[in-house]
Homo-oligomer: A and B are copies of this chain.
Amino acid sequence: MSNPIEKLIDNLCKLPGIGRKTAQRLAFFIMSMPEEQAIQIAEAIINLRKKARYCPVCFNITENEKCNICSNPERDHSIICVVEEPSNIILFEKTGYKGTYHVLGGNISPVDGLTPDKLKIKELEDRVKTGQIKEVIISTSPNTKGELTAQWIADLLKKYNIKISRIAYGLPIGIDIEFADEVTLSKALEGRKPLNV
């Protein structure tokens, strides 16, 4: 095979979840699509890396000095939702949440070399130290690493006079209860709330 297509296949293989077969399929598709569209993909990558940076306040991705959320005066800057990755913000934004965020950059995981100092935990504490924060909602994943991280942050911030909360555990909406696992069910029972009757 000719070189440019092999080079692209090699490059696409570096992306997560893209094996050699998928990379081949993508590369041949990129060869067959209108040239303008193919170049647009390339330019979108270059544009992202040349223009986008991390918000110095919350570590969301932005093309401005501060991100759209941190620089929006209509958001509630006294509430911080702590998330693992910038991509999580997309999900929370769909809920209508009106506070701000703080992106950790992952969860604490010493076996992967992710000690607390590798995450943006100190930067979170610095934001709390300013005295402008009333509540920190810890929204890491409900798994071992996420729980460890949540507990670590809660312990670190308890000396400040703020509300520290964890997003609720329970049944995901829309499932058939038959398929709920026992740990989720047990958490859903614990977290039960009075119904209005």
Contacts and interface: CB of A to CB of B under 8 A. Distances in A.
A28 interface: yes
A41 B5 CA distance: 12
Contact of A25 (B1, B25, B35, B87): B87
A141 interface: no
Given A15-B29, A16-B29, A90 B48 contact: no
B15 A31 contact: no
A175 interface: no
A8 B10 CA distance: 20
Interface string A3-34: 11101101110111110001011111111010
Interface string A56-71: 0000111110011000
A168 B189 CA distance: 61
B49 A86 contact: no
A47 B7 contact: yes
A16 B11 contact: no
Interface string A87-103: 10110010000000000
Given A1-B90, A30-B45, 13 more contacts: A1-B61, A2-B62, A2-B68, A4-B44, A4-B48, A4-B51, A11-B40, A15-B29, A28-B61, A30-B49, A39-B45, A42-B43, A42-B46
